[in-house]
């Protein structure tokens, strides 16, 4: 089985187990979510489900439109039944690193409005401790004018190294869907209290959001190499 098949089985399982008729569904971002939207569209068609989808990014919005699903927004649907999203890493306590695709701000807003947040991932995202498997660090979305002082402050507070995320098909930094920059914090201490770290980083003026999702995820599905799906709940 390919990694793509592992993503697909996790995504299909989550959509099949958690989406019901008349649900408001948060649609996450990334490559695994593509399979979730594909499965959701199949179920809407075959079971005639009434589902409204709330996107977590420009990419998610385009996926919803492409599959002819009903597009909603928080203004009219502030309470979401279930959000299905990917993750860059999930530790043994269900703390997540998210934001590898740069969509962490809207993803966290949508997760915070959801009765349930379900993560879908392949087996490479399943970790004991944050940093065991995901080596690109914790993404932090920041207001552009403050990125240098924020970098200095985080290193003074917690150590490690910070890189301003560069764009691939453009000279200069990645600019998020919200017009901000992304810092990737390569932490060295894996035994930090992530709840506290998240709170302290968020208190630095100019920090918009961190990619640390603490106590937000209810269940994670990890597609395995042999085609089965492993689960973890909190």
Interacting residues with ligand 5RP (CB under 6 A): 28-32, 85-88, 98-104, 107
Whose Cβ is closer to ligand 5RP: residue 162's or residue 220's? 220
- Half-sphere exposure for 100 (CA within 13 Å, toward CB): 19
Q: Which residue, 52, 48, 5, 18, is CA-closest to 217?
A: 18
Interatomic CA distance for residues 28 and 200, integer angstroms: 26
Running DSSP on this structure, what letter comes out for residue 76?
Answer: T
Q: Which two tokens stand for residue 29?
A: 């971002």
Least distance (Å) between residue 212 CB and ligand 5RP: 11
Query: By C-beta, is 93 or 124 nearer to ligand 5RP?
Result: 124
Among residues 213, 164, 216, which one has the least CA distance to residue 185? 164
Classify residue 79 by its DSSP letter: S
Cβ 156 to ligand 5RP, closest distance in Å? 27
Q: Which is nearer to ligand 5RP, 24 or 182 (CB)?
A: 182
Closest-by-Cβ residue to ligand 5RP is: 30
Name the CA radius of gyration of the chain, rounded.
17
Catalytic residue check, 107: yes
Kind plus residue range of the DSSP H or E element containing 139: strand 138-142
Catalytic entry in 107, 161, 200, 209: 107
- Supply the minimum distance, in Å, between the C-beta of residue 222 and ligand 5RP: 12
CB 74 within 8 A of CB 54: yes
Cβ 86 to ligand 5RP shortest distance, Å: 3
The smaller minimum CB distance to ligand 5RP, of residues 88 and 91, is found at: 88
CA distance 153 to 135: 21
Where in the sequence numbering do the catalytic residues fall? 107
């Amino acid at each position: 089985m390919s990694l793509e098949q592992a993503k697909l089985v996790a995504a299909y399982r989550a959509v099949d187990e958690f989406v019901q008729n008349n649900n408001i569904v948060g649609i996450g971002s990334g490559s695994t979510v593509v399979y979730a939207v594909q499965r959701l569209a199949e179920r809407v068609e075959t079971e005639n489900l009434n589902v409204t989808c709330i996107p977590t990014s420009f990419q998610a919005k385009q996926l919803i439109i492409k599959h002819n699903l009903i597009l909603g927004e928080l203004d009219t649907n502030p309470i979401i039944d279930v959000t299905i999203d990917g993750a860059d890493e999930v530790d043994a306590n269900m703390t997540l690193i998210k934001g590898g695709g740069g969509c962490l701000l809207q993803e966290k807003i949508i997760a915070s409005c959801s009765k349930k947040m379900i993560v879908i991932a392949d087996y490479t995202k399943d970790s004991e401790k944050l940093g065991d498997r995901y080596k690109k660090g914790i993404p932090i979305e920041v207001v552009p004018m403050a990125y240098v002082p924020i970098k200095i402050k985080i290193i003074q507070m917690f150590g490690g190294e910070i890189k301003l995320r560069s764009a691939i098909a453009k000279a200069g930094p990645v600019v998020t869907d919200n017009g901000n920059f992304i810092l990737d914090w390569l932490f060295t201490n894996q035994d930090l209290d992530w709840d506290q770290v998240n709170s302290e980083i968020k208190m630095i003026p100019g920090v918009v959001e961190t990619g640390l999702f603490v106590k937000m995820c209810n269940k994670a599905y990890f597609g395995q190499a042999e085609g089965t799906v492993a689960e973890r709940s909190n």
